[in-house]
Amino acid sequence: MTRTYSFLSKASTRGLAGNGAGRKTGMVVLGAVGLAMAGCADQSGTGTLPAPQEPKAATSHKIGVLLPLTGPNAALGHELLAGAQLALAESGAATAQGPSQAQAQAQGRSAALQMDVHDTAAAGGASAAVTAAVEAGDGIILGPLTAVDTAAAAPAAQSASLPVLAFTSDVNQARDGVWVMGITPEDQVERLVATARKEGRQHFAAFLPDNPLGHALGNGLLASCRDQGLTTPTIVYHTGSAASITQMMRELSAYDTRKADAQPDGSAPAQTTDATAPDKTLPSDLAAALNGGAGSASPSTSTSTSTSTSTSTDGTAQPAAPKLAPPPFDALLLGDTGLGLKNVIGALADSQVSSSSVRIMGPGLWAAFASKLGALKGAWYAAPDPSSRQSFVTRFMARNHHMPRPLADLSYDAATVATTVARTTSRGYPVSALTRQEGFAGVDGQFTLLPDGRTRRALGVFEVLGNGGGAKLLVPATTKTSVSG
């Protein structure tokens, strides 16, 4: 399904009438396979082969939009479409009910922007949708939504030199001419490592779920440590039960070695405060009783002892685990949410990995439930400053009568890129204009498209407050991650 929205300059900026503003075109959807394979088909036979030619850059300012408008992701697709429509309306464009390009030119006005929408959930999927966009003469593609659809659409778009601003956060899709608009795990980690390094952290490790997010975070940590001159981090990917997570955390934190160092002969070390320590020659139960009444210091707050006591089920006092030395890292990256994070938090406590000696860091997903991360007080995560989004939320709600989903930010940003570049270039969307040094003003702050297909976004570093207090902005959002020294 293809729908075209015309946006003409100097016209009303009032809201679009939803999807009813669209009108079907008679575009012919060609087979995507033939187009995608044309550039890599076998050349056989005799004679001299023609020299390959560089594809001509698209010269149109028409904006192609590839989204799932039917099927299970239709609601999300329409949400992203609304975000793009808002950006175009605010740029000074009109709705599809305005004059046609021919009418505008006849009236002495320059025809501005036209949005050409294609359904990636229709027959042929993203491949057919991008083929239709190429055939329609679109100059840039906003979308698709997923990494799978981006991979399917990229070959045909690249063959036609059609820039793609995809809504995925999978950095593996980034390449020449294909930009990943989502906030990638790799960018979050880079921001965290740079800030932790500035704090003096030098030895990084990661304890991550064995899933795509976990591996993206792990790859980001490897790259960030390499780029910032740090030693190669130790990374453990975990699966399984809480018991296995606890055991793997013990291995990562060198728990057995630290415990052996604390008790080299298998007995509890001597107390360091003579005034409160009972005579070592006393019976163990009497010594424990005297120690328990000597003061109010608890195992978690006392700085005068390296051991404490606990009571067994039969009432006998037993020496608790000794206070261990810090683990062999001073910064630890986590990636879990939900039950997995609960199990990891339990494993941290078991292995005595605490914020007193280790900077705990996590994904931006933690922002959604920071008030529930009391056990990780002092932990960091990188995310956009939410105050930057408030204006967009207000404008989106006034137009669409509901709160925007987070992904609508990306479609608005992508459309902002398109409208900005279209008004500064006479033909098409050249890479030099898309990757301009000053970047673009987005919903969540400034962002810049990099030549390699990544998007550098302004991310702040937040610290978990604990006690239901959410998180505070520790380091203001910026696109710069370099650290002096």
- Give the separation between CA 471 and CA 206, rounded to whole angstroms: 22
Which residue type sits at 100? S
Indicate if the pLDDT at residue 366 is higher than 80. yes
Per-residue pLDDT, 91: 87
- Lowest model confidence (mean pLDDT) among 200-214, 272-286, 313-327, 343-357: 272-286
- CA 301-307-313 angle, to 5 degrees, is 100
DSSP string, 31-71: -HHHHHHHTT----SSSPPPPP-PPPPP----EEEEE--SS
Specify the pTM: 0.73
How remote is the C-alpha of 205 from its chain's centroid?
19
Per-residue pLDDT, 314: 53
- Give the separation between CA 49 and CA 341, rounded to whole angstroms: 59
Q: 11 near 103, Cβ under 8 Å?
A: no
Per-residue pLDDT, 323: 87
Q: Count, in order, helices (H) and strands (E) of the chain.
A: 14, 19
DSSP helix/strand/coil, 449: strand
Q: Which tens digit of pLDDT belongs to each residue from 131-189?
A: 999 999 999 999 999 999 999 999 999 999 999 999 999 999 999 999 999 999 999 99
- Give the separation between CA 308 and CA 479, rounded to whole angstroms: 47
Q: Which residue, 76, 196, 74, 58, is CA-closest to 135? A: 58
